[in-house]
Amino acid sequence: MSSHPAGGASVSPFKQPKAVFAVAFACVVSFMGIGLVDPILPAISHELNATPSQVTLLFTSYLVVTAVAMLITGWVSSRIGAKNTLLAGLTLIVVFSALAGASPGIGAIVGFRAGWGVGNALFIATSLAVIVASASGGFVGAIILYEAALGVGIAVGPLLGGLLGHVSWRGPFFGVAALMALALLATLVLVQPTPRPERKTGIMEPLRALRHRGLLTMSLTALCYNWAFFTVLGYAPFPMELDAIQLGFVFTGWGALVAIFAVFGAPWLQNRFGIARTLYVNLALFAVTVLVIAIWTTHPPVLITAVIVAGVFIGVNNTVTTQAVMTVSSVERPIASAAYGFVRFIGGGLAPFVAGKLVEHTNIHVPFYIGAGTLVLGIAILATAHGHLRHAERVQAAGVDETEPMSGPVAGPDARPAEAPSSYVAVVTLEGNGHPAPPLAGQGAGTPIVAAVDDSPAAERVTAAAARLAALSGRAVHVLHAREGVVTGEAAADVESVDAARAAVRRHLRRLADQDVPAVGHVLLTAAGHGAAGRMVAEHANQLGARLIVIGAPSHGGVAALMDASAGRELARHAHGHLLIVNPALAPLDASGTAA
């Protein structure tokens, strides 16, 4: 159900290979780029005699090119591999950020920011997957590092931009180039080559994916939201009338709230109120905040406070919308992510430039009124997909997404349809271990015992305990393995392949066969995190009629233990039977109940 390291002692999730830390450091620098240029926008405008609308092209060229490049990231990565794609992205960022810093005029900076955008697209499309692939002793710590990098980068970027920008507007560009060069070298040396996917992604697949109504509707909603987001981020610094350091502190406060609510606030709100209500209320409150900015644009104290508060709604929306997109879409996760990124970044890229032009032809309040209006439009668009949102809530309540096919290569010759399929849980059921297939509850046999396992050696204790109980009671064992995925506000990745998950289940089935215990294995597709895995196992065990679920105790320490605990809480909350927790730190018990 979750990846634990071998052995019984509590293990720190941060005992990861150096490769994980190398990519995490690169993620910090990459996420800095979101707010890095905000503190230096007025300085660039003044020193290069550029109008605000010309300066906002730093956002437009960067984000529009990032949007278009998102369409080719899957095509590139499936042909040269994730590591090489990551290195290509890092190289482009180093080169073009340095060239931007050395530029003589605004036109050159805008052009080089476009090249930076290509590198950014290649990087964000593969960084999470490379971190997960490089992790050892469990992916939990790697995910925490990635989300910590996201938070630190967003929060620190504006501060670094302000401090370096106070010396010269060129400082932030050269700073990024230097830091990314270090990250590039570390990634080149420390990260092992990643295998290429068996299937090559077609270059038009992300665009074709937008034929899916749920994906298109969520993407258009995100376009409206990003229009308001980058109107605030790209133009609000001008009427604040602050220097670079002061702007750095303002947007550091904004970035800190974005990070906190993206990583912690959004999951809590989504679990508490559901996807639909969270999105509707969050977009409405963000619209009110942007309206406040529009009314009091020329009152710096109100403007500054409203911009910082906007970080709350931006953080929540980033995470919840991405989770919803990955759930409602019927296409593969990387393709859905590329299509969604293309549409939303187009809105974010065009908004700052349009804001500058509107100010030139009207007044400084108009862009923010339009930003508030686009959020209302986004709510209206979202309402047309209410059925898709309800579907996403049901799927996430079960803890899975339904992008995995249930026939063909996934099912394979040794899989059969689940005998008691859930309405919302996608499951591949493997044939038994050579003994008569155990019947389900209500079919003339005792209730089965469920063993919830992962792919670690510690999971053998779970199977062994289930086998002893089954032998004593004459019951069968159902081995459940939840295939987890990772979705953050900026990226998505699968932790393991379907084949790897099936292989893990087969190993446990063979152990049960050696003890003459009838068993069937199930791979549950795909949990979006530890809490979702716990819900999924509970729901499937309930459908099997199981009165006992055997699980392993968390073996991670520190912060990661909270993630394992979330799986246990959700399992206990939704299971209809008893839970038996096997402590891998203790010697196993024999049939008499004494230590072996």
The three-class DSSP label of residue 349 is helix
Q: What is the pLDDT of residue 493?
A: 64
Mean per-residue pLDDT, 400-411: 34
What are the tens digits of pLDDT across the range 222-262? 999 999 999 998 899 999 988 889 999 999 999 889 888 88
Query: Mind listing the pLDDT tens digit for each residue in 71-102?
Result: 999 899 888 888 999 999 999 999 999 999 99
Contact between 416 and 424 (Cβ < 8 Å): no
CA atoms of 215 and 219, how far apart (whole Å): 6
Q: How many CB atoms lie within 10 A of CB 443?
A: 10
- Indicate the pLDDT class of residue 512, thresholds 50, 70 and 90: confident
> Which of these, 416, 483, 418, 479, lies nearest to 449 by C-alpha position?
479
Mean per-residue pLDDT for 394-419? 39
Same fold, 1-203 and 415-582: no
Q: Helix 82-101 to helix 18-32 angle, to the nearest 10 degrees?
A: 40
Q: What is the pLDDT of residues 363-402, one digit of tens each?
A: 999 999 999 999 999 999 999 877 767 765 555 554 443 3
HEC secondary structure over 191-226: CCCCCCCCCCCCCCHHHHHCCCHHHHHHHHHHHHHH
Chain centroid to Cα 56, Å, comes to: 28
CATH class, range 1-203 = mainly alpha
Q: Binning pLDDT at 50, 70 and 90, where does residue 551 land?
A: confident
In the chain, % of residues over pLDDT 90: 29
CA distances from 165 to 54, 153, 248, 312 (A): 19, 17, 9, 26
Query: Which architecture does CATH list for 415-582?
Result: 3-Layer(aba) Sandwich (3.40)
Length of the chain measured in residues: 596
Which residue is associated with the tokens 């960067």? 62
Q: Contact 392/328 with Cβ under 8 angstroms? A: yes
Q: Work out the angle at residue 235's Cα, subtended by the Cα atoms of residues 229 and 241, and round it to the nearest 5 degrees.
A: 130
Q: What is the DSSP letter of 322?
A: H
Contact 491, 30 (CB under 8 A): no
pLDDT digit string, tens, across residues 264-307: 888 888 878 888 889 999 999 999 999 999 999 999 999 999 99
Q: Report the percentage of the chain scoring pLDDT > 70.
A: 77
Q: How many helices (H) and strands (E) does the chain have?
A: 22, 8
The residue extents of the domains of the chain are: 1-203, 211-244+257-398, 415-582
Residue 466 · residue 495 · CB < 8 Å: no
The CATH code of the domain at 211-244+257-398 is 1.20.1250.20
User: Would you give the distance in Å from CA 244 to the centre of its chain?
Assistant: 32
